[in-house]
Chains A and B, each alone.
Chain A
Amino acid sequence: DGGITQSPKYLFRKEGQNVTLSCEQNLNHDAMYWYRQDPGQGLRLIYYSQIVNDFQKGDIAEGYSVSREKKESFPLTVTSAQKNPTAFYLCASSPESSQTDTQYFGPGTRLTVL
């Protein structure tokens, strides 16, 4: 089946720890995105990547880092510098060359800081 997978579904972190959220897609999409969702708020863009080995900061990149070594993978690291990391994290992908296509979303990872 084609699609986007995220793991783990739930993640617990102690304060001061870094954690990495996984995102994999087999849709052959060039572009990938990471969003954060907080209760009562819309999704906010953290980082995005339009091509392998390249990525750009979104609106709320502070305290996060990413890599894009392979087309199908776009892991997100939540560092200890992120002051309020408890949230629902969503990964998405889209054909980069298309301005008219939608983004396809994964099932999300819920991160809780203990």
Chain B
Amino acid sequence: KQEVTQIPAALSVPEGENLVLNCSFTDSAIYNLQWFRQDPGKGLTSLLLIQSSQREQTSGRLNASLDKSSGRSTLYIAASQPGDSATYLCAVRPLGGNKLVFGAGTILRVKS
């Protein structure tokens, strides 16, 4: 059974700092891995989607990497801003299905 783990569970950093969020998964048989952002009491917004054949994706100050063989992904946020404060969720899409398997998320607070 696929399991997704995110470390750390919570992170507080000063504005301007570069930071890394970690995601690990137990089964490498995946179509893709996604990073989502969730603001308090809101739905999820897709940030980056990495196909299983890709190593990384970039969008603005965000860079996500994927090492499928080791079951790891990282989300790198450059020059963090208070507006980046949110919960970041990692999810994998196992082969053979449409379901997503989510991690519990990392709660990020960027202090001004």
Chain A interface residues toward B at CB < 8 A: 4, 6, 31, 33, 40-45, 48, 50, 58, 88, 90, 92, 94, 96, 99-100, 102-108, 110
Is the interface on chain B under 10, 10 to 19, 20 to 34, or 35 or more residues?
A: 20 to 34
In the complex, the answer to whether A94 meets B98 with C-beta atoms within 8 Å is: yes
**Which residues does chain B contribute within 8 Å of A107, judged by CB atoms?**
42-43
> Contact: B44 with A48, CB < 8 Å?
no
B103 touches A42 (CB 8 A): yes
B98 touching A96 by the CB < 8 A rule? yes
Q: Which of A31, A44, A108 contacts B98 (CB 8 A)?
A: A31
Q: Would you list 25 pairs from A and B whose C-beta atoms are within 8 A, ordered by A residue?
A: A4-B43, A6-B43, A40-B104, A42-B4, A42-B89, A42-B101, A42-B102, A42-B103, A42-B104, A43-B44, A43-B100, A48-B98, A88-B41, A90-B43, A90-B44, A92-B44, A94-B98, A96-B98, A99-B93, A100-B49, A100-B51, A102-B46, A102-B49, A103-B46, A104-B46
Given contacts A100-B49, A102-B34, 19 further A-B contacts (CB under 8 A): A31-B98, A40-B9, A41-B104, A42-B4, A42-B105, A43-B100, A48-B99, A58-B99, A90-B44, A92-B44, A96-B98, A99-B98, A102-B49, A105-B36, A105-B45, A107-B42, A108-B41, A108-B42, A108-B43
Closest to A3 in B: B43
Q: Total A-B residue pairs with C-beta atoms closer than 8 Å?
A: 58
Q: How does the 8 Å CB contact mask read for B16-44 relative to A, with 1 for contact and 0 for none?
A: 00000000000000011010100001111
Contacts of A104 in B (CB 8 A): 46
CB-CB nearest in chain A for B43: A105
CA distance A2 to B87 in the complex (A): 25
Name A's interface SS: strand
Q: Flag if A105 contacts B44 (CB, 8 Å).
A: yes
Residues of A within 8 A of B43 (CB): 4, 6, 90, 105-108
CB A51 to nearest CB in B, in angstroms, measures: 11
Given contacts A31-B98, A108-B42, contact A100 B104 (CB under 8 A): no
